[in-house]
Amino acid sequence: VNRRLIMGLADGEVLVDDRLIYTANDLKVGLFQDTSAF
């Protein structure tokens, strides 16, 4: 299988009812244009 993987780096926050409950720094994520194969 030959695929090209695009990686992104980001910081993130999770809010519930407008309250910050979780933060994460330096997340490494794969970016996809077509998710139909999942």
Nearest to residue 10, comparing CAs of 23, 38, 29? 29
- Give residue 1's pLDDT band: very low, low, confident or very high (50, 70, 90): low
Pick 7 or 34 by higher pLDDT.
7
CA torsion sign, 17 to 18 to 19 to 24? positive
- How far apart, in whole angstroms, are the C-alpha atoms of residue 5 and residue 7? 6
Per DSSP bridges, beta strands 19-31 and 6-16 are antiparallel
**pTM for the model:** 0.53
**DSSP helix/strand/coil, 9:** strand
Angle of CA points 33, 36, 38, to nearest 5°:
100
